[in-house]
Structure 1
Amino acid sequence: MKSLLLSLVLALLWACAAQAEVLVQPNFDAGKFSGLWYVVSMVSDCKVFLGKKDHLLMSTRAIRATVGGGLSVHMEFPGADGCKQVDAEYLKVGSEGHFRVPALGYLDVRVVDTDYSSFAVIYIYKELEGALSTMVQLYSRTPDASPQAVKALQDFYPTVGLPDDMMVLLPKSDACSPEDKEVP
């Protein structure tokens, strides 16, 4: 029992140390980051994600900077039964571009790389159904990611231990029509 507890503590310490090495976008500007983003690709070791990744579709994030450096995020997820919508507050922790989202089980969210006008690479360390996992998402201002955006994603996700077979490019969907939406 003691060895199991020690193993769990060591694993948690290793995970915390690994997270600490993930840097945020230098001089992150939440105002420039605000607006509509498409989630065009994802990579994760989450068992729920891996079981569903071949059926996921491109989703959107309408983001607005809040007072205090946080983000208000409106998410839309297309599915077989229409468009599911979720609103969440990304609470600033530490430096600009570093957040936590208690409502979604996101323990650590970092904007790792962005040019604000075409792409962003987002790192998420989360807890879902009692399991800890790492996810990296590629945001694009359009449904078609640029080669520069895809390269930024491919350069980053191996640095957090995610292999190529855990990556998926998300197909477009008409279930949610972001063109009609305003950023909240």
Structure 2
Amino acid sequence: MALKCVLLGQVLLLLWVSVAGAEVLLQPDFDAKKFSGLWYVVSMVSDCKVFLGKKDHLLMSTRTIEAMAGGNLSVHMQFPRADGCHLLDAEYLRVGSEGHFRVPALGYLDVRVADTDYSSFAVVYIYKELEGALSTMVQLYSRTQEASPQAVKTFRDFYPTVGLEDDMMVMLPKSDACSSGDKEAP
């Protein structure tokens, strides 16, 4: 009986994730090759309790993205922290349409490139599970450490459509922790 309840709960969760994610549109005609390269994560917004508790201490991180066969992405992440630069590699697995991914290694149940012009900004939607809790996050990527006013406006116009509020958002300060030679894995 307990096993049936657990399985039913997991099925309902997957159905809910599918319905919740279905409302978020994808970048039309997403091109993984044009999306490849270096991106700075200049702003984030989330309803995740862990994020909300730490958001005022976070710094700008980077994503180096490489298009792979089958529409997957190889993503190299650098996170500056007080004790140096932490590195993480993950494969974003394409599901369905181009620009739609899952990242099991990070607990990302649904990742969508919602909007991008490829040359200056991208708005990335993430629905994830962390420490047993489900949450929504939106990140603003920029090709430079200074996002354009139009990119910030696009980001600010988007995240309320997925239920996130201004007080959940942070513009991330720059850091040089990842530009020095002392990089280590998390």
Provide TM-score, normalisation by structure 1.
0.89
Name 1:166's counterpart in structure 2: 168
CA distances 1:49-97 after superposition (whole Å, capped 9, x unpaired)? 0000000000000000001101000000000000000000000000000
Q: Is residue 58–residue 171 contact of structure 1 (8 Å, CA) maintained in 2?
A: yes
Counterpart Cα distance in 1 of 2:111 and 2:16: 18
Name 1:145's counterpart in structure 2: 147
Counterpart Cα distance in 2 of 1:7 and 1:168: 33
Name 2:30's counterpart in structure 1: 28
1:125-136 correspondence runs (5 A): 125-136=127-138
Q: Compute the displacement of 1:19 (Å).
A: 1.2
* Letter of the structure 2 residue corresponding to residue 158 of structure 1: P
Report the secondary structure of 1:110's partner residue: strand
Name 1:67's counterpart in structure 2: 69
1:87 to 89, 100, 113: 89
Report the secondary structure of 2:69's partner residue: coil
* Letter of the structure 2 residue corresponding to residue 44 of structure 1: S
Report the secondary structure of 1:151's partner residue: helix
Counterpart Cα distance in 2 of 1:11 and 1:68: 27
2:123 to 121, 124, 129: 121
* Letter of the structure 2 residue corresponding to residue 96 of structure 1: E
Q: Is residue 38–residue 143 contact of structure 1 (8 Å, CA) maintained in 2?
A: yes
Unaligned 5+ residue runs, structure 2? Answer: 1-7, 181-186
| Fraction of identical pairs, as percent | 82
Q: Compute the displacement of 1:14 (Å).
A: 4.8
Q: Compute the displacement of 1:177 (Å).
A: 2.0
Counterpart Cα distance in 2 of 1:30 and 1:65: 5
Note closer, same or farther for the CA distance 1:30–1:9 as it changes in structure 2 (3 Å cut). closer
Q: How many residues align?
A: 173
For the aligned residue pairs, the C-alpha RMSD in angstroms reads 1.9
Name 2:5's counterpart in structure 1: none
Q: Is residue 18–residue 160 contact of structure 1 (8 Å, CA) maintained in 2?
A: no
Q: Compute the displacement of 1:12 (Å).
A: 6.8
Report the secondary structure of 1:60's partner residue: strand
* Letter of the structure 2 residue corresponding to residue 83 of structure 1: C
- Tell me whether 1:100 sits opposite 2:117 in the alignment: no
Unaligned 5+ residue runs, structure 1? Answer: 1-5, 179-184
* Letter of the structure 1 residue corresponding to residue 117 of structure 2: D
Provide TM-score, normalisation by structure 2.
0.88
Q: Is residue 121–residue 153 contact of structure 1 (8 Å, CA) maintained in 2?
A: yes
